[in-house]
Structure 1
């Protein structure tokens, strides 16, 4: 079985070159955008999902095979966060858990072919719509766990602007500067081509640089109690690490919020009902997810160097989480 998996993963990587990429290897800046027609990719309206809506107590549910492979999207913080949460719980329950880090194309291909059992980071209805069109018949959705995945422009909590449009008249308060991330990110494109022209922000110097540079500026400014405006996205640990808030976007220039879904292979859906139900029970709101990611990824904490220990510490800080998760009570 191990030889078969390795050989087929090689085929997956080769095949992925032919797959149209909905987004890059990192979720720096969220999805690629798209039209609302993608809401019904694969014949399903993916915008209609409430996290935890399929919840129920897992007591009495058992998997005969306690070997499971979980997929992680390379560079996607929430993917590591949710997979390592699941890994922690499953290993406590006696499972042998393997993780596989892949980009989006190989991941969807691998799960569709049955070489990876589950992944937790399907952004819909837009970001991963092309993969659903291609592989949806061979995937089983296992509920959505988060419903506020979106592109944002954020400012420090105590600054004056309330909406993106306020930057037009309050630019001086922010040194007439908006700090951005990588030039190729979907967030950068949306800000440059949608938000800035739609809100008439000709007075603003949009500094395109990198995600680390943006976060460094955010840290510097908030620690100095200076006003700052940055392009950001949810989910992100910065919302827990720094005193910041989103500017309202009345024109919808940054796009609508997406849902994040779990998916499994057809075989895993049938052979692993316990894991499937745990995923259907999973619900993380902005506060919980940001605090977990902050612990895992910020330089002031584990800095992405020991996911297992970070999750272990977070669960100690949230002692009721696993019990509520297993009982299907996280959505309440």
Structure 2
């Protein structure tokens, strides 16, 4: 894995961006009134920093919508400001809302001001993963073998929902003597890459879907107590009124589904890019490889 892949696709993890960009409320009034995709309009998609499925799905839809005549801007930010911007109407769409658990607090706060379009991935999960040949298969066994992992669990951002779930799991499985290191997703991926290259055991907090499962030989530790929650769905949300302003866009996103094989393939190709500036050509080439499927998204 190239060093490029240790960072989020757009910016270093944790670096919030100034919320900017035109909402579709500022789009061409004729397009909004008619809902005719051919006339286009301006759309802004909110993208979660460091969430690879958010980046991949947003880049895909940027290309698809621009091919339909829309002017699409991607704005990268952390979840909290992204949900706020969606509720305020500054963003039009967010493709990476995890339900029913991970983003439940945001839905409780902003749910009345945003609209659910539909789930596009139905087997998302918070995980604790190890190298496939590690001597444990369950969180139940991890404490007994802690020294074989350097007595360390490598986590991501301190404020992430995944981090909170693992913090709750630690006392349940008697892992209090292990050092739970949290810093950032890129730092976790750097540690994972180094350990896998050196043939060392490592335990990391991760989630599915994630490109790392296609890049490394990993296994998820069983969670018999259910501390990390059940499988979740990834859902697209829009600002209020998007369906009235852009009915075609709302319909396309409502009908959108994507299986893990396609998602991992796109994520891995984006990860292999030499730089962020190559993403447009990567997505263009990927679409050409899957043209029939992509065409079905706007049928």
Same fold (TM over 0.5): yes
Output one character per residue of 1:276-298: Cα deviation in whole Å (capped at 9) or x when no partner. 122122223333323322332x3
The answer for unaligned runs of 5 or more in structure 2 is 1-11, 16-34
Aligned partner of 2:286 in structure 1 is 314
Taking only aligned residues, the RMSD between alpha carbons, in angstroms, comes to: 3.1
Measure, in 2, the Cα distance between the counterparts of 1:281 and 1:126.
22
Measure, in 1, the Cα distance between the counterparts of 2:176 and 2:75.
45
Aligned partner of 1:279 in structure 2 is 253
Secondary structure of the residue that 1:259 maps to in structure 2?
strand
Measure, in 2, the Cα distance between the counterparts of 1:124 and 1:214.
24
Aligned partner of 2:269 in structure 1 is 295
Normalising by structure 2, what TM-score? 0.75
Q: Note the C-alpha offset of 1:65.
A: 4.5
| 2:143 maps to 1:165 | no
Measure, in 2, the Cα distance between the counterparts of 1:87 and 1:118.
11
104, 107, 121: which one aligns with 1:146: 121
Measure, in 2, the Cα distance between the counterparts of 1:237 and 1:141.
26
Aligned partner of 1:262 in structure 2 is 236
Measure, in 1, the Cα distance between the counterparts of 2:211 and 2:224.
25
Q: Note the C-alpha offset of 1:109.
A: 4.2
Measure, in 2, the Cα distance between the counterparts of 1:99 and 1:175.
40
Output one character per residue of 1:85-109: Cα deviation in whole Å (capped at 9) or x when no partner. 1111122222222333444454444
Q: Note the C-alpha offset of 1:133.
A: 3.7
- State the aligned residue count: 268
Aligned partner of 1:52 in structure 2 is none
| 2:218 maps to 1:219 | no
Normalising by structure 1, what TM-score? 0.69
Secondary structure of the residue that 1:217 maps to in structure 2?
helix
The answer as to whether partners of 1:72 and 1:80 remain within 8 angstroms in 2 is no
The answer for unaligned runs of 5 or more in structure 1 is 1-24, 29-60, 328-332
1:102-251 residue pairs with structure 2 within 5 A? 102-191=77-166, 193-202=167-176, 204-251=178-225
Aligned partner of 2:23 in structure 1 is none
Output one character per residue of 1:185-204: Cα deviation in whole Å (capped at 9) or x when no partner. 4433432x322211123564
The answer as to whether partners of 2:122 and 2:231 remain within 8 angstroms in 1 is yes
Q: Note the C-alpha offset of 1:173.
A: 4.3
Measure, in 1, the Cα distance between the counterparts of 2:185 and 2:238.
31
Measure, in 2, the Cα distance between the counterparts of 1:185 and 1:108.
15
Q: Note the C-alpha offset of 1:302.
A: 4.1
